Amino acid sequence: MDRDELLHADVSGSVIAAFYEVYNNLGYGFLEFPYAEAMERELRDRKHQVGREVAVPLYYKVYRLCTYKLDMLVDDKVVIEIKSTAELPKTAVRQLHNYLHATDYEVGLLLHFGPEAKFYRQCVLNKTKGRISVSDQRNPPDRLTAPQ
């Protein structure tokens, strides 16, 4: 893989296209649930595997601390977090970062169905999490870096 190529770019690109399709059809103003339902249908129509409310545990050493629920997991590669507020909460970026840091998933998309459609991509490579990396990739450019 070329160092300038984004990790899971094919899945991310398809999710982003689905996001704009849903936003262009529904517009702004709904709660998160209808957007999540529409995203699931749109992604399945695009032949993706979609998990909703995926439970992932967080461990400290051998102790299970809690369980996170991911809004969506696409093709077992990309974590999706959906927000539909007028303003994106500052904690949303950190929430996505926590999901990526606590799991083996490396790519996440924060989809904001706000007054304007916006998305943010975040990548936390497994080798930066103290895990063995499955590839020797460099950190690709992201729309977001570390949480505030």
Strands 78-83 and 107-113, sheet pairing:
parallel
Residue 100 sits in a domain of what CATH number? Answer: 3.40.1350
Task: Tell me, yes or no, whether 73 lies in a domain.
Answer: yes
Whether 102 maps to a domain, the answer reads yes
Q: How far is the C-alpha of 132 from the C-alpha of 15, rounded, in Å?
A: 27
In a domain, 3, yes or no: no
Average pLDDT over residues 84-105: 93
| Average model confidence (pLDDT) across the chain | 85
Residue 116 is part of which domain span? Answer: 9-129
Task: Answer whether residue 4 is part of any domain.
Answer: no
Give CA angle at 85 (80, 91), nearest 5°.
Answer: 65
pLDDT value at 144 more than 50: no
Give 12 or 127, the one with higher predicted confidence.
12
Say if 121 falls within a structural domain: yes
Q: Is residue 44 situated within a structural domain?
A: yes
Beta pairing partners, 63: 60
How many domains are contained in the chain?
1
* Location of structure tokens 């094919």: 10
Residue 140 counted as domain residue = no
Give the pLDDT band of residue 109 (cuts 50, 70, 90): very high
Note whether residue 145 is domain-resident.
no
- At 126, the pLDDT band (50, 70, 90 cuts) reads confident
- CB of 115 within 8 A of CB of 129? no
The predicted-structure confidence for 17-45, as pLDDT tens digits, reads as follows: 999 999 999 999 999 999 999 999 999 99
